[in-house]
Structure 1
Amino acid sequence: MIEIIICDDEIKDLQDISKIVCEVCLNEVIDYNLKTYSSGEEMLDQTYSMDIGILDISMSELNGIDLGRELKKRFPEVKLIYITSYEKYCQQVINKVHAFSFLTKPVKYENVREQIVDLLDSMENDASGRKREFYDVTTSDKHKIEVLKLDLKDILYFEYIKSARKIKIVCRNDSYEFSYVMEKLTNELREFGFEVNCRGMLVNMRHIRKVKGYLLHMDNGQEISLSQKRKADFVKKMNVFMHNNFN
């Protein structure tokens, strides 16, 4: 599911672009979840995960450029589309927040459709080679799945459940359990940015918002443990990963 967030402090414009985005997603058969905000501050306070941000540049409290810069810090892989009435802002945004594209007001259906389709193609290409199949999986509501294919970027962490002798996969919107060897999984996924944070856990470093004390603050609002013994080495590896992938 694609998480889309729109932020514009002009309520009429916010309603118009939201309606168009919904129509595009329905017509293109895109599995999506849409949230809207009329304030950048409110959006930052209430957002724990996102794939696409559609932001108005000229907002009165927190402008779209500063909002986009903060979103890029929290969610390095987020794709940003800016809405503007002034083309002079375009180069400024490209330089500061690496916007994916722009929409000029008044926003039109065909322009939105083109940008979203191109953006999803780009996201699919970014994730190529990073899908993994998991076998004999149990969902959080106890359904059985013979083969489950997941994008590794969508997984927050793995946790070994000793009582069940299974590994739990925690994603943004769901969790799963399957049988596997934790040490083997760790060795297979390290090259994709996963690292052991404490005994029995393997975390996706791209979803860490910050490290504070012996806690990892994840981009979905969760806090998970970081062992004292592993902290120095973990932080070093995380800094290298972030530098190599998001600078």
Structure 2
Amino acid sequence: MFTVAICDDDKIVLSSIQKCIEEFATENNISISVDLYDSGKKLLESSLKYNVIFLDIILQTENGIDIGTQLRKLNAFTYIIYITNYKQYHETAHNNVHSFAFLTKPISKKIIYKQLNDILIYESQNNDPLYIARFITYEQGLTEFNIDDIYFFEYIKKRYVKICSKSGDYHFNEKIGNIDIDMASYNFFMPHQSFVVNLKYVKDIKNYELLMTNGIRIPLSQKRAVLFKNALNNYLEKMLIL
């Protein structure tokens, strides 16, 4: 079941987007549940985790950017799609919340279909065999990872590489430079000579340090700071469907 939340204080907008999503589900023969919220507070109070959230930026007494920031803390993997009349918030939504899309009202059925279709394609790619990596780890021998489950690689004491993944930490013999080359096409980048990180899980950059979505902090070298920030911006722009 694919789950979607729509948060807007305009009942007409809520109903319109809900109708488009339900028609998309019917036409594509997939199961999608849709929940409606007229405030960000109610959405944050929900115990449900959604695959996709359509979120208004200007609610009656709330700021959608603030709501999105809190939602991102609760679930780093939700696709947040902003809906608004205010184009000036585009950069903030893009850089602070890492939104998937930024849609300007009135929103057409065609553009909603495109967002949902792009998300489904992206999800299917994450489960594709091409997105599987295999390493001979100390812990389990031949170990298979979904590449999207890897937060980062760390070179430990010039002896071995640690894989920090959703299923735990693993270790194997390899040069970090080879990892950097092999994983570049999967949106990994080297912020420091001892690390190669998955750009998807970079939550914030403060001074010369990265904050990952799993709470771990990783150093950003001064020499690579500009290159890394450019790589991260390029990745975010690629993920942002206008």
TM-score by length of 1: 0.53
| Structure 1 equivalent of residue 212 of structure 2 | 218
Q: CA deviation at 1:186?
A: 1.0
| Distance change (3 Å), C-alpha of 1:184 and 1:40 | same
Q: How does 1:23-34 map to 2 (within 5 A)?
A: none
Count of matched residue positions in the alignment of Structure 1 and Structure 2 = 183
Contact 1:214 1:228 (C-alpha < 8 Å) held by counterparts: yes
Tell me the secondary structure at the aligned position of residue 223 of structure 2: coil
What are the residue-to-residue correspondences of 1:6-85 with 2, within 5 Å? 52=51, 67=67, 71=71, 78-79=78-79
1:130/1:151 contact within 8 Å kept: no
On the 8 A contact 2:126/2:146 being kept in 1, the answer is no
Give the whole-Å Cα distance in 2 for the aligned partners of 1:73 and 1:95.
Answer: 27
Question: Are residues 206 and 122 of structure 1, via their aligned partners in 2, closer, same or farther at CA, if it must alter by over 3 Å?
Answer: closer
Partner of 1:162: 157
Cα 1:199/1:63, change in 2 over 3 Å: closer
Q: Which amino acid in 2 is paired with 1:241?
A: Y
The whole-number CA distance in structure 2 between the counterparts of 1:237 and 1:80 is: 21
Identity %: 24
Aligned ranges 1:101-116 → 2 under 5 Å: none
| Matched residue SS, 2:123 | helix
Tell whether the 8 Å contact from 1:51 to 1:77 is kept in structure 2 after alignment: no
Q: Note the C-alpha offset of 1:64.
A: 8.9
In 1, the alpha carbon distance for the partners of 2:43 and 2:170 equals 29
Deviations for 1:148-172, whole angstroms, at most 9, x for unmatched residues? Answer: 1112122111001116x11100123
Q: Are the aligned partners of 1:80 and 1:100 in contact in 2 as well (CA < 8 Å)?
A: no
- Determine if contact 2:55/2:80 at 8 Å carries over to the other structure: no
Q: What TM-score does the superposition give when structure 2 sets the normalisation length?
A: 0.54
Give the counterpart letter for 2:136 in structure 1: D
In 1, Cα distance between equivalents of 2:63 and 2:111 = 16
Contact 1:194–1:205, Cα closer than 8 Å, also in 2: yes
Q: State the one-letter code of the partner of 2:189.
A: E
1:147 aligns with 2:142: yes
- What do you get for the CA RMSD once the two structures are aligned? 5.0
User: Residue 41 and residue 166 in structure 1: after superposition, are their counterparts in 2 closer, same or farther (change >3 A)?
Assistant: farther
1:173-228 Cα shifts (integer Å, max 9, x gaps): 41111112221111111111111111111111111122111111212222211011
Residue 136 of structure 1 corresponds to 136
User: Where does residue 19 of structure 1 map in the other structure?
Assistant: none
Tell me the equivalent position of 1:176: 170
What's 2:180 paired with? 186
Structure 2 unaligned segments of length 5 or more: list them. Answer: 8-38, 82-106
Q: What's 1:28 paired with?
A: none
Runs of 4+ off more than 3 Å: 39-44, 50-57, 59-77, 91-96, 98-101, 119-122, 124-127
Partner of 2:22: none
* Distance change in 2, residues 1:229/1:122 (3 Å): closer
> How far apart in 1 are the matches of 2:128 and 2:146?
9
Report the counterpart of residue 229 of structure 2 in structure 1.
Answer: 235
Listed as ranges, the gaps of 5+ residues in structure 1 are: 9-38, 45-49, 82-90, 102-118, 139-143
